Amino acid sequence: MQLYFLCTGNSSRSQFAEAYARHYAPADWSIKSAGTNPHGVHPKTIEVLNQEGFDTSRLTSDAIDDDFLNLTDYVVTLCGDARDHCPITPDSVQRVHFPLADPAGVTGSDEEITTFFKTTAADIKQLMKTFITDIQKNA
């Protein structure tokens, strides 16, 4: 099974999705994330994942890899921009869309921003648990 998570910057939402999917999916699944306009992993993404015990040392913000995209089983977009600008894929690629607000765009106090990141992470964690379970049931 191959999963590809896409958002605009590959800085938060798709990073969370990749981390949680890797955690919940079988070890032999190939899982990556990318952005339509990657601009680095957000420090709050790293902070939240580190607090949960994830190794973030290898997180990178990547552009879409067309070869990986065309061979994937599921491409999951996590924002409207990624959904609207995702390259055309073969009919064999199933597309899934989870519309989520971008935590990287939130303003306010450090505490408010951190809270939004944690809430987004928790939402994505639950989505990934359900998504992985559903894929396994339908395999």
- Annotated catalytic residue: which of 4, 5, 6, 7? 7
C-alpha–C-alpha distance, residues 56 and 74, integer Å: 24
Q: Within 10 Å of residue 120's Cβ, how many Cβ atoms?
A: 23
- Annotated catalytic residue: which of 59, 86, 104, 135? 86
C-alpha–C-alpha distance, residues 98 and 80, integer Å: 9
- Annotated catalytic residue: which of 17, 59, 79, 127? 79
Q: Is position 64 annotated as part of the catalytic site?
A: no
Q: Is position 79 annotated as part of the catalytic site?
A: yes
Contact between residue 73 and residue 2 where contact means Cβ atoms under 8 Å apart: yes
Residue numbers annotated as active site: 7, 79, 86
